[in-house]
A and B are shown apart, each in its own frame.
Chain A
Amino acid sequence: MSSQVRFTDFKSDKQPTWCPGCGDFGTMNGMMKALANTGNDPDNTFVVAGIGCSGKIGTYMHSYALHGVHGRALPVGTGVKMANPDLEVMVAGGDGDGYSIGAGHFVHAVRRNLDMTYVVMDNRIYGLTKGQASPTSREDFETSTTPEGPKQPPVNPLALALASGGSFIAQSFSSDAMRHAEIVQEAIEHDGFGFVNVFSPCVTFNDVDTYDYFRDNLVDLAEEDHDPTDEDAAKQKILDSSKEYQGVIYRNDDAVSYDQQFGLDTNMSEIPDGAPEDAMDLVREFY
């Protein structure tokens, strides 16, 4: 790790094709800042992206990266981190990617509590497929596939994370650049699975959950004297649907991460030239 890394070192020379004004620009910049601030560089960082407008992030960042299939970025990140715990692993995706097709993986990645970071760009819509309802869309949000709204309550990702035993649960707003970067940085620094749901407005297909909406309704927990280690206080905030919160909502510093539990500390890319020296013992076990 070099100390001179700047956040622009994490930028690729590929120009983003996101719509002008898309919240994902801010989300990505904050992630790059957080990575640089935590002393990482592109050669020791692995970014895994899902599918969606959000998933394009892997293309616009510079690091070791994999852009996978829809909904399965978390398992890929899981494998990368387990096989080489020295790497800084960051997984990114959208609300459809993470809470719909990938919801099962989300629950299990949270409870596995491997030391990595998961950033979800929550625009409450499917952007890449041009505007269908997502699991976080409001009950009455009219889209091409839900002309009268989904008529189902939205998924509460923070509640899902808490119920799954989450050890770090946070939320941020992509256009509040400084706070967003700070929060992602805390997630990286957390010893375990750092989860950040980011309000990342879609300016093309979502005219309800807009920048203005979030600006007007956002409450920053840093200004509220919230104690993230107090589980009851966290529950209260997470279940309060009258407001949108920004900040670290819950943090359990006592939770033991998966890598610690299983003593994962080996870079598994290094193996001998042939079978292990004592490999005949494996055969002899079958006497």
Chain B
Amino acid sequence: MPADFNWAIGGEAGDGIDSTGKIFAQALSRAGRHVFTSKDFASRIRGGYTAYKVRTSVDDVQSVVDRLDVLIALTQRTIDENLDELHDGSVIIYDGERSTMADVEIPEGMIGLDVPLKRLAEEAGGAIMRNVVALGAACEVTDFPIENLDSALQKRFGNKGQQLVENNKEAARSGQDYVAEEYDHEFDYDLDTTDNDYVLLNGDQAIGMGAIAAGCRFYAGYPITPATDVMEYLTGRIEQYGGHVVQAEDELSAINIALGAARAGARSMTATSGPGIDLMAETFGLVATSETPLVICDVMRSGPSTGMPTKQEQGDLNMTLYGGHGEIPRFVLAPTSVDECFWKTVEAFNLAEKYNTPVYLVSDLAMAVTEQTFPPEAFDMDAVEIERGRVVDDDTIGEWQNEKGQFKPHALTEDGVSPRAFPGTAGGAHMSTGLEHDELGRRTEDTDMRIEQVDKRTRKVETAKEREDWSPREFGNPESDQLIISWGSNEGALIEAIDLLEDDDIDVRFLSVPYIFPRPDLSEEINSADEVVVVECNQTGQFADVLEHDALRRVKRINKYDGVRFKADELADEIRAALAEEEVTA
């Protein structure tokens, strides 16, 4: 029996797949089990196949795998789509009374449980609860104490009245009882509970929570998959801390509104996905030249153009690293896991304000839609530090004024960092502009000043390189001469892949890099390893390119760009194959 258990519910968009999956995931989490969810959805609201998958274990789970143990299939297509992952002994729960499922075909070796979901739901108070009936059935199959499901139902429906909660509980019981009575079968699954406390959240929510913790009080955005959850999270919450969320008319406006708020002194953010980043590119240059601290979050999806809006990709690295005309200093941070989405957001705000520089916070769809369990201490709010940088007040403003009493917002300093005066500060009135400017912020085409200002802005990055920690996260065997490098959300799948490889006596060192710019200098690691493999979700190997550039050495690449995130077992196979291949010759 496998240590981890994989469950899914699938049907048509509009079938309530998402909320049902979420209820089950929450029930598992509340029962002290680790949960890792993934979603398979099409870019349409009704119709089209969609599935919500849950992997769970009493141990940590950080990835999806190619296996499905129990499937609630609301349509035949749900079964067809998942044939690869179903195996001998997989259980398929379906409603044979549903017209579309009348001729259902249960593949050889699998166990089909025909449960009259709709009829039982109607008896419990309404057809709408048929998915909850299925959840009850799943509890019976997996020996999972149904009380845990009750608590998730309470959370989901509690605010809509106790009667609805009771009806749902009853619906779940009827599914459970039906399987117990009709199917006299010992199922192979056993979902134990533990006393552990977990919270369950996705990457977008972690970014939103990190923003509030970091003192972000202003958000301007325009909805786009898969970044919208950040905005939805902040809406209704940020106000409790005196903040505001504004839905702009487009991304051009969103970034400019966010910029305005930052100039007024607020910690300010916008979030979007690739197409929105393209639209923001012009203002990005203004943010950098006017030296405005701003966090711009790019939750990547499959591109170019509108590409595959609901599919995974890590294709925007070059855009965030090089995008925009002219040469622009910036920071590019890429969290590598859901909890790191929180911490990197906090760091992004501090970097932005300490260096008066825009920060790209780059996440991706896989992380944005993945809900994962963590102990609450993973988000220890006492550990959040806020550093606002060189902000002047009445006492210090004099140090930053010229002999005429004019404030110098772009003062040429040794560390490249200039002072900031929030509007309202007496004696701080100044202007800033996207035009090249002097220390006062006034337009200049003076050749010396041009060079001094460009160098000053670059110097901030040099200062940050020295003052901040840009280390990668390290996993596997530090002594191994087989080196795997990756960035972004692939970390979890890689950690599990390494475990799988260890079982085969394949030993690797894995560096997961959360910093794209500045990034750690990995030349030594790369050059001293026998084999180097760079893993990323794009076709050209954008990160591999920059690493080759840094280390002056060719690396092997594993690239996935079919729109689906890496799975641990698939990745283990790929790494095995890459390590076995001949060395890459330049």
Interfacial chain B residues near A62, Cβ < 8 Å: 429
| B402 CB, min distance to chain A CBs, angstroms | 11
Tell yes or no: B115 within 8 A of A by CB. Answer: no
Chain B residues whose C-beta falls within 8 Å of the C-beta of A77 in the assembled complex: 260
**CA gap between A83 and B241 in the complex, in Å:** 13
A266 at the interface (CB under 8 A from B): yes
Say yes or no: is B261 at the interface (Cβ < 8 Å to chain A).
yes
- Tell which of B36-44, B265-273, B326-334, B543-551 binds the partner: B265-273
Whether a CB of chain B sits under 8 angstroms from the CB of A183 is no
Given contacts A79-B220, A268-B265, A280-B376, contact A108 B424 (CB under 8 A): no
With both beta carbons as reference points, the residue of chain A lying nearest to B429 in the complex is identified as: A42
Nearest B residue to A76, CB-CB: B260
Of B29, B218, B257, B286, most buried by chain A (CB within 10 Å of CB) is B257
A63 to B428, CA, bound (A): 9
Q: Mark A54-87, 1 if CB is under 8 A from B, else 0.
A: 0000110011111111001001111111111011
Q: How far is the CA of A287 from the CA of B386 in the complex (A)?
A: 26
B431 CB-CB contact with A under 8 Å: yes
B155-189, CB < 8 A from A: 155
Q: CB-CB < 8 A to A262: which residues of B?
A: 244
The CA-CA distance from A42 to B267 in the complex, in Å, is: 23
Assess whether A68 is in contact with B217, with CB atoms less than 8 Å apart. Answer: no
Given the complex of chains A and B, what is the CA–CA distance between A76 and B431 in angstroms? 13
Contacts of B246 in A (CB 8 A): 78, 82
| Chain A residues positioned under 8 Å from B268 (CB to CB) | 79, 83
Determine whether B304 belongs to the interface, using a CB cutoff of 8 Å to chain A.
Answer: no
Q: Does A267 contact B (CB under 8 A)?
A: yes
| B11 at interface by CB-CB < 8 Å | no
Given A46-B423, A66-B431, A69-B286: A79 and B261 interface contact (C-beta under 8 Å): yes
Measured CB to CB, the closest approach of chain A to B426, in angstroms, equals: 5
CA of A108 to CA of B217 in the docked complex: distance in angstroms? 22
For B386, the chain A residues whose CB sits under 8 A away are: 271-274
B17 in contact (CB, < 8 A): no
Verify if B435 is at the interface (C-beta below 8 Å from A).
yes
- The residue from A65, A69, A287 contacting B30, defined by CB atoms under 8 A apart: A287
The reply to whether B261 and A59 contact each other, CB–CB distance below 8 Å, is no
Cβ–Cβ contact A284 & B376, under 8 A:
yes
Contact yes or no, A269 B265, CB < 8 A: yes
A264 close to B (CB within 8 Å): yes
With a CB–CB cut-off of 8 A, which chain A residues contact B199? 283-284, 286-287
Asked if residues B215 and A271 are in contact (CB atoms below 8 Å), the reply is yes
Tell whether B576 is near chain A: CB-to-CB under 8 Å. Answer: no
Out of B242, B248, B421, name the residue touching A75 (CB < 8 Å).
Answer: B248
- A43 engages B215 (CB within 8 Å): no
The reply to whether B264 and A46 contact each other, CB–CB distance below 8 Å, is yes
Report the minimal beta-carbon distance from A34 to chain B, rounded to whole angstroms. 17
Known: A68-B286, A75-B248, A276-B213. A283 touches B220 (CB 8 A): no
Knowing A72-B252, A76-B257, say if A83 contacts B217 (CB, 8 Å). yes
Against A, the Cβ 8 Å flags (1 = close, 0 = not) of B401-424 are: 000100000000000000001111
By the criterion CB–CB under 8 Å, are B290 and A66 in contact?
Answer: yes
Contact of B425 among A43, A80, A81, A275 (CB under 8 A): A43
B457 interfacial contact with A, CB 8 Å? no
A39 within 8 A of B: no
Whole-angstrom CA separation of A163 from B547 in the bound complex: 55
The residues in B between 247 and 279 inclusive whose CB is less than 8 angstroms from any CB of A are 248-250, 252-254, 256-268
Identify B423's interface contact among A84, A271, A276, CB under 8 A.
A84
Given contacts A13-B404, A273-B386, 11 further A-B contacts (CB under 8 A): A43-B426, A65-B432, A66-B431, A69-B286, A75-B248, A80-B261, A84-B265, A107-B249, A275-B381, A280-B376, A287-B198
Give the B-binding residues of A (Cβ under 8 A): 12-14, 42-48, 58-59, 62-69, 72, 75-84, 86-87, 104-105, 107-108, 262, 264, 266-269, 271-276, 279-280, 282-284, 286-287
Q: List 8 A-B contacts (CB under 8 A).
A: A44-B423, A59-B442, A64-B263, A65-B431, A84-B265, A271-B386, A283-B376, A287-B197
